[in-house]
Amino acid sequence: HKSYVDHTTKMLKMAQDAGVRVVLMSPNAVDVRKGDRFKLYLETQQQFYAPLKELAAANSASFVDQYALTRAG
């Protein structure tokens, strides 16, 4: 988890330094597989991508939360 955030931060800063407009986006929560173990997968996925919103805000980047939109549906 920390490694993901650290590497995403580095990538974001490199893109911004190159003049690229950055948008961070969480993945969809849609999973066609059914069963109790996939409920745990969705919860784990949410925890893994949660830092993206704060990372975007701290670096003046945009953030799209597809996870929240598709999880609600």
Q: What is the pTM of this model?
A: 0.74
Q: pLDDT of 34-63, one tens digit each? A: 667 777 777 777 778 889 999 999 999 999
Helices and strands in the chain, H and E counts: 4, 2
**pLDDT on residue 23:** 95
Q: Is 10 exposed, middle or buried (0-12, 13-18, 19+ CB in 10 A)?
A: exposed
List the beta bridge partners of residue 64.
25
**pLDDT on residue 4:** 87
**pLDDT on residue 31:** 67
Q: pLDDT of 3-35, one tens digit each? A: 989 999 999 999 999 999 999 998 887 766 666
